[in-house]
Amino acid sequence: MAYQNVLTPQAEDFPGWYQDVVAKAEMADNGPVRGTMVIRPYGYAIWERIQAEIDARIKEAGAQNAYFPLFIPQSYLSKEAEHIEGFSPELAVVTFAGGEELAEPVVVRPTSETVIGEFMAKWIQSYRDLPLLLNQWANVVRWELRPRLFLRSSEFLWQEGHTAHATFEDAAAYAMKIHTEVYDDVLNEVLAVPTFLGIKPPRERFAGAINTMTCEGMMRDGKALQMATSHELGQNFSKAFDIYYQNEEGQAALCYTTSWGSSTRLVGGLIMAHGDDNGLIIPPRLAPTQVVIIAVRDEVHVNEACERILASLKRAGVRAVLDRGRGSFGRRLTDWEIKGVPLRVEVGPRDLAEGVVTVVRRDTAAKVALAIDDVARQAPAMLEGMQSELFEGARDRRDANTCDVASVVEAIEVAQTGFARLSWDLVGDSEEAEMNNQAVTIRCLQRADGSIPSSDLENDLLCIVAKSY
Amino acid sequence: MAYQNVLTPQAEDFPGWYQDVVAKAEMADNGPVRGTMVIRPYGYAIWERIQAEIDARIKEAGAQNAYFPLFIPQSYLSKEAEHIEGFSPELAVVTFAGGEELAEPVVVRPTSETVIGEFMAKWIQSYRDLPLLLNQWANVVRWELRPRLFLRSSEFLWQEGHTAHATFEDAAAYAMKIHTEVYDDVLNEVLAVPTFLGIKPPRERFAGAINTMTCEGMMRDGKALQMATSHELGQNFSKAFDIYYQNEEGQAALCYTTSWGSSTRLVGGLIMAHGDDNGLIIPPRLAPTQVVIIAVRDEVHVNEACERILASLKRAGVRAVLDRGRGSFGRRLTDWEIKGVPLRVEVGPRDLAEGVVTVVRRDTAAKVALAIDDVARQAPAMLEGMQSELFEGARDRRDANTCDVASVVEAIEVAQTGFARLSWDLVGDSEEAEMNNQAVTIRCLQRADGSIPSSDLENDLLCIVAKSY
């Protein structure tokens, strides 16, 4: 623990801790153009694992991947009035290309509703073509004046799903399916981040949406992070882009569309939901490296034992790497701690003389001595145990820091260190403004049982408020 | 075969056939901004399979994925003189962002050598950090005035690898490893496209490279397509971006860098290397759908047999889909032919009465009657057989259409329908110009045994010339 002051302590300065850990764990760097981000191999490996988990569930839900252009004619964005209003201050515009000034400038996509709407109109003929379920993995650009790596960057990576349906009900059900069976499932089961599910109040909806669902996670400083959103777009985009289908009676009818997205912001959420003063803690199911075998010293029989453990872990389907005994053991240990690898297997000559190695859990620092051949036998269960406990720990922390309150004044007080939950009936425009003045925002509206309402007009809704990223 | 005139015949108009098949197989559409492309789900599924095969081999070769920004400061491109010259007519430039004119315009990356060079300089300290082996999957933009879907588009998807090494030899060996063990292996073993390997003549090198290796494939009209390239960049970029390392003697030394790329152009190459007048032919190892089970009619026991075959194929690890018996059988059959699915299993009431179904190979149209339970038993071997025969057929076609010639005049004649191979000593500047005037270009230089030379200055090189895409 001699190296723990490598990072700013969380309690002292949480944003400082975040910046330190992103740099020291070699997750990302600032790009040369303001607000852009370089995702380094370790950060990208985590993103690839998140992608794989989300992508598999999206495919399971029946959507197909496709790819739409980066450049969008400026005129497209103005077809849906709220959409252009929502995005125009954030747009990056290409005015010069191929050696000359463009006759019509093109916008770098901030999201692809408009261009996808255009092609849906072309591809959808009859009710037989519905639902049309599309997803794309892409980069998008929203110019950012106060960037923070992973959390807010001028360019970010994401997936955006876009679907068209014959009925309002089918569209709403599909958005709900994605929100719970894709996003919330990955957050809970893989990222080990418990969430509050709900809908955004009208003012906070996506530009052009009639309803926006959100997954809100609590970070270790008690602030909220919006981790994924799913939108019912009603007929707003189908009206703007003429997305009609011929129904079974042979009449032209407007489609109902949805869109839903999750981004590299999830990496930031992962860092802030689990990390501690020694660095990242990556949940085992997500971790690109689940076990690191650390040779204490560079000696022949130490290396042999390490290789044997590595081979047996790989055979057991565990993602393991070997850190050969070059350079300071303490320094290497600190680096692996900062990177948040779930289990460390420390292999030293003294332990080996007794026929054992030391296995250490990153989150609890609990150590256990195991015979060499027991490492691969026990690692899968240890990893699964750590996965559950990380989730349970995060859920307990969240629940301990979420208070039911009876007034906006109390809500603001509670939101200094956690989440406040109060009746939505108590929050009018002036109350919302009062909270916003204190940087406290409405994170979501939910039913008393925690389920997702279909509209903000339902009776007896609760609202969760917090400071947020 | 009543539907075969759905597509323009290849012999009549090959580019027309290509355009038809891309549209009718629902591979891609033109985007709204000139030269951009919408990759539809079927085209994207093929790209995802290509990606997966390339990505696995890149990781096997030790490189790690990362992500660098879309936007590059204009000044970066001018740091390496040849590089800016090579790319400036193709650049797209953002001059307006975040609601105001930018003080320094930013370029949309045409390739990422420059920005990656900047970060390599930051990350590389000592010889212990070398080699640094990076890869990124990304979109790039090169403004295109004569676009063609997949082959030349203003925006395309690719992977670009960038590596830094301590020595010239190590850099050259790594570029060669990628070129043969990643690109050529995927082309041969997965896309079933035989290649000629070699280096580009000096004039055709990548902007800033000291040596460029290429994989050249022959399309069904006898023209060449450059399918992947790997560049030795010498110390050009390390000089321009100060990519130094401290060697074992403690002295600062310049790195040697490489870069290598393959793109969605491969999808175009796949189409043109194998397709016939009935549509695409997708090699089984690549195919997103390897087997389609087609119910001839929508009848209960037909559907039951189809479901049983589907389940057994999935258990056997075959990527199979079911086309239920809705709509015209002939029409559906034509659509699956156009999409090039390797095997069709046709399930009709008449065959079922005799306890069999009909299995048809897409490439040869060879039919075989199999008992239901034999389909999954035999499909894997049939698919592997088709994979080999597709490769062998393409290789035989290529070899039959490649002629050794003794003069530039002959070369031009041969290049009207295939490839010509002649001594590189015969090709001076004026001979090259003479060929180029006839749209015949030097595709690559290779040794007499077909291997890749390390430089165009080697003795006794052969050069392969052809018309090309």
Q: What does chain A come to in residues?
A: 469
pLDDT of residue A81: 80
With vertex at residue A387, the alpha carbon angle to CA A385 and CA A389, rounded to the nearest 5 degrees, is: 70
Q: pLDDT category, B2, cuts 50, 70, 90? A: very low
Q: Which ranges of B345-443 does DSSP label H, i.e. alpha helix?
A: 349-353, 372-400, 408-414, 429-437
Retrieve residue B113's tokens: 């050598």
Q: For residue B387, what are the contacts with CB-CB under 8 A and spacing of at least 6? A: B192, B283, B284, B285
In terms of phi and psi (left: phi > 0; alpha: psi -120 to 50; beta: otherwise), the region of B53 is alpha
Q: pLDDT category, B84, cuts 50, 70, 90? A: confident
CB contact under 8 A, B92 and A90: no
Q: Is the dihedral of CA B106, B153, B162, B89 positive or negative?
A: negative
A216 touches chain B (CB under 8 A): no
pLDDT of residue A5: 66
Retrieve residue B282's tokens: 């997708």
CB contact under 8 A, A31 and B90: no
User: Cα B60 to chain center, whole Å?
Assistant: 19
CB contact under 8 A, B143 and A69: no
Interhelix angle B372-400/B265-274, rounded to 10 degrees, is: 90
B160 touches chain A (CB under 8 A): no
Residue B324 main-chain phi, psi, to 5 deg: -65, 155
Interhelix angle A14-24/A265-274, rounded to 10 degrees, is: 110
C-beta of residue B264 within 8 angstroms of C-beta of residue B44: no
The Cα A392–Cα A376 span in angstroms is: 25
Counting DSSP H helices and E strands in chain A, the numbers are 15, 23
C-beta of residue B82 within 8 angstroms of C-beta of residue B208: yes
pLDDT of residue B87: 84
- Distances in Å between the Cα of A327 and the Cα atoms of A41, A294, A295 are 22, 11, 10
Give the residue from chain A lying closest to B140, CA to CA: A70
Q: What percent of chain B has pLDDT over 70?
A: 99
Tell me which amino acid residue A43 is: G
Structural domains of chain B in order of their starting residue, each with its CATH number? 10-274 (3.30.930.10), 291-382 (3.40.50.800), 402-466 (3.30.110.30)
Interface of A with B in 114-143 (CB under 8 A): 115, 118-119, 122, 134, 138-139, 141, 143
Of A39, A99, A115, the CB nearest to B32: A115
Q: pLDDT category, A2, cuts 50, 70, 90? A: very low
Retrieve residue B272's tokens: 């043109």
- Residue B82's Cβ-count burial label (10 Å; 0-12, 13-18, 19+) is middle
The Cα A322–Cα A311 span in angstroms is: 10
Note the pLDDT tens digit of each residue in A191-227: 999 999 999 999 899 989 999 999 999 999 999 999 9
Parallel, antiparallel, or unpaired for β B37-39 and A462-466?
Answer: unpaired
**DSSP-assigned beta bridge partners for residue A421:** A404, A464
A86-99: average pLDDT: 92
C-beta of residue B279 within 8 angstroms of C-beta of residue B7: yes
How many Cα atoms sit within 13 Å of A400 on the Cβ side?
9
Q: pLDDT category, A1, cuts 50, 70, 90? A: very low
Q: pLDDT category, A330, cuts 50, 70, 90? A: very high
Contacts of B108 in chain A (CB under 8 A): 70, 94, 108
CB atoms inside a 10 Å sphere around CB B352:
17
Interface A:B, Cβ pairs < 8 A? 163
Residue A74 main-chain phi, psi, to 5 deg: -55, -35
- Residue A24's Cβ-count burial label (10 Å; 0-12, 13-18, 19+) is middle
Residue B1 has pLDDT above 50, yes or no: no
Residue A168 has pLDDT above 90, yes or no: yes
B67-79: average pLDDT: 93
pLDDT of residue B452: 98
Of A73, A89, A94, the CB nearest to B98: A89
Residue A26 main-chain phi, psi, to 5 deg: 55, 45
Of B93, B138, B144, the CB nearest to A96: B93
Note the pLDDT tens digit of each residue in B165-194: 999 999 999 999 999 999 999 999 999 999
C-beta of residue A309 within 8 angstroms of C-beta of residue A359: no
CB atoms inside a 10 Å sphere around CB B60:
10
pLDDT of residue A396: 98
The Cα B83–Cα B241 span in angstroms is: 13
C-beta of residue B153 within 8 angstroms of C-beta of residue B38: no
A146 touches chain B (CB under 8 A): no
The Cα B446–Cα B452 span in angstroms is: 5
CB contact under 8 A, A97 and B91: yes
Retrieve residue B184's tokens: 């050529």
Give the residue from chain B lying closest to A74, CA to CA: B33
A321 touches chain B (CB under 8 A): no
Residue in the structure block whose two tokens are 């707003």: A236
**Does ipTM exceed 0.85?**
yes
The Cα A26–Cα B129 span in angstroms is: 14
Q: What percent of chain B has pLDDT over 90?
A: 94
A187 touches chain B (CB under 8 A): no
pLDDT of residue B5: 66
- Residue A395's Cβ-count burial label (10 Å; 0-12, 13-18, 19+) is middle
Q: Is the dihedral of CA B199, B202, B205, B209 positive or negative?
A: positive
Q: What percent of chain A has pLDDT over 70?
A: 99
Give the residue from chain A lying closest to B122, CA to CA: A29
B234-239: average pLDDT: 96
CB contact under 8 A, B118 and A65: no
The Cα B159–Cα B57 span in angstroms is: 12
- H or E element that contains B319: none
Residue B286 has pLDDT above 70, yes or no: yes
Residue B32 has pLDDT above 70, yes or no: yes
B405-424: average pLDDT: 98
Residue B195 has pLDDT above 80, yes or no: yes
Of B38, B67, B98, the CB nearest to A119: B38
The Cα A242–Cα A286 span in angstroms is: 42
Note the pLDDT tens digit of each residue in A345-404: 999 999 999 999 999 999 999 999 999 999 999 999 999 999 999 999 999 999 999 999
Q: Which ranges of B61-143 does DSSP label H, i.e. alpha helix?
A: 74-77, 81-87, 113-123
**Average pLDDT, rounded, for chain A:** 96
Assess whether the previous peptide bond of B380 is cis (omega < 30° from 0): no
Q: Under DSSP, is residue B421 helix (H, G, I), strand (E, B) or coil?
A: strand
Retrieve residue B194's tokens: 């035989």
A283-302: average pLDDT: 96
The Cα B95–Cα B78 span in angstroms is: 18
Least confident span in A184-193, B167-176, B296-305, B400-409: B296-305
Contacts of B36 in chain A (CB under 8 A): 69-71
A254 touches chain B (CB under 8 A): no
B265-286: average pLDDT: 98
